[in-house]
Amino acid sequence: MRTGYDGVAVVFGVDFHVGQGEIVAIVGSNGAGKSTILRAVSGLITPMAGSIEFMGRSITGMRAHEVTALGIAHVPEGRRVFSKMSVEDNLLLGAHVVSDKGKIADTLRRVYDTFPILYSRRSQKAETLSGGEQQMLAVGRGLMSDPKLIMVDEISLGLMPIMVDKVLQVLKQVRDSGVTVLMVEQKIEKALAMADRAYVLQTGRIAMSGTGRELAEDPEIRKAYLGL
């Protein structure tokens, strides 16, 4: 896949796959093109070349709401919760592609089971949550569309170190609940420690790929990204 903005490519010839039930990480430095890949998959931008397939079906060129309806949720960088709305109303906004009220209620219960802190704060305004809790809310809102795949962009962004491990564990909970996870993350060491497989992106191209453990133990990765 090749894609970018205003006719200028940012990602060049990237080829990757995500298996059902996996946590797959795309890691790399800022500006490498990680977020651009997620935007292309979710239909926010259209690839200039190549194709995107989901569960054997081409979704290349589909609009974002169509991609969501097929079972892909995108949690963008920066949380983007509606600060003046309650936690529960934020979550319900994530179910805009679901028409069955019974299904919405069931999914809401599952989200609260996964994130009990959101249930205890369901009537509070989103702005009263901590940064980590807002990230959980953003992920929970993504889950409200009942996705098969959830893509999470920089879940650790702007969080205190003590909260980073906590919110990353959220993605393991999500995978354990039956949802496949594709994550983009700058905190490479932590991402590799939890990912089943990972891809290292450099200036819009995949430089390396392998299991999380293989990449974490690779001397080039350790030197270039981990300072070891």
Q: Is residue 147 part of a domain?
A: yes
Strand partners, 125: 86
Backbone angles phi, psi at 185, to 5 degrees: -155, 135
Output the pTM of the full model: 0.92
Which CA distances in Å does 126 have to 81, 90, 157, 176?
A: 7, 8, 18, 26
Smallest CA-to-CA distance from 114 within 178, 33, 191 is with 178
The per-residue pLDDT for 228 is 53
Q: How many domains does the chain have?
A: 1
Range(s) of the domain holding residue 190 = 16-224
Give the burial class of 117: count Cβ atoms within 10 A of its Cβ; 0-12 exposed, 13-18 middle, 19 or more buried.
Answer: middle
Q: Is residue 59 part of a domain?
A: yes
Taken in order 136, 139, 143, 144, the sign of the CA dihedral is positive
Name the residue type at position 96. Answer: H
The per-residue pLDDT for 79 is 75
Q: Is residue 11 part of a domain?
A: no
Alpha helices, H only, 29-130: 34-41, 64-70, 87-93, 101-114, 116-120
pLDDT digit string (tens) for 102-152? Answer: 999 999 999 999 999 999 999 999 999 999 999 999 999 999 999 999 999
Top pLDDT among 227 and 208 is at 208
Give the burial class of 49: count Cβ atoms within 10 A of its Cβ; 0-12 exposed, 13-18 middle, 19 or more buried.
Answer: exposed
**Could you tell me the CATH number of the domain that includes residue 95?**
3.40.50.300
Q: Is residue 4 part of a domain?
A: no
The token duo for 148 is 């098969």
With bands split at pLDDT 50, 70 and 90, how would you rate the model's confidence at 30? Answer: confident
Q: Provide the mean pLDDT of the chain.
A: 93
Q: In whole angstroms, what is the distance from residue 212 CA to residue 131 CA? A: 27
Q: Identify the three-state secondary structure at position 71.
A: coil
pLDDT digit string (tens) for 62-82? Answer: 999 999 999 999 999 887 899
Q: Identify the three-state secondary structure at position 199.
A: strand
Q: Tell me whether strands 205-211 and 197-202 are parallel, antiparallel or unpaired.
A: antiparallel
* Residue that has been written with the tokens 């590799």 in this structure: 192
Q: In whole angstroms, what is the distance from residue 45 CA to residue 55 CA? A: 20
The token duo for 68 is 């969501």
Q: Is residue 116 part of a domain?
A: yes
Q: Is residue 9 part of a domain?
A: no
The per-residue pLDDT for 187 is 86
Q: Is residue 3 part of a domain?
A: no
φ/ψ bin of 13: left (φ > 0), alpha (ψ from -120 to 50), beta (otherwise)? left
Alpha helices, H only, 11-160: 34-41, 64-70, 87-93, 101-114, 116-120, 131-143
